[in-house]
Amino acid sequence: MIANKAEYEAAAARANALSDAPEGSPAAQELATLVAELRQWDEAHKGENSHGPEPVAGLNRPDDMSVSGLPGNIGKLKKD
């Protein structure tokens, strides 16, 4: 059971190290246990780092297109 953020980070690093463990091996069993514990921690702490819900339309705002140059400013590139 993961008790704090330091243990979470250590478990995540260990899971990453075991990510290519052969199926059925002791390392794969350890990986499965770590993944279950990490998911349990994530579920229990999912609101702690939340910055509010994502906007319905995603992260783009209506004025983002004109800043990026396309397609809002494409007309400015044409010479008549």
Reported as a single tens digit per residue, the pLDDT across 26-68 is: 999 999 999 999 999 888 888 776 655 555 656 655 555 555 5
Contacts of residue 66, defined as CB under 8 A and 6 or more positions apart, other chains included, come to 72, 73
Q: Give the confidence band of 16 by pLDDT, cuts at 50, 70, 90.
A: very high
**Nearest CA among 36, 52, 41 for reference residue 7:** 41
- Compute CA 54 distance to the chain's CA centroid, rounded to the nearest angstrom: 14
Q: Packing angle between helix 26-44 and helix 5-17, nearest 10 degrees?
A: 140
Helices and strands counted in the chain (H then E): 4, 0
Write down the pLDDT at residue 28: 94
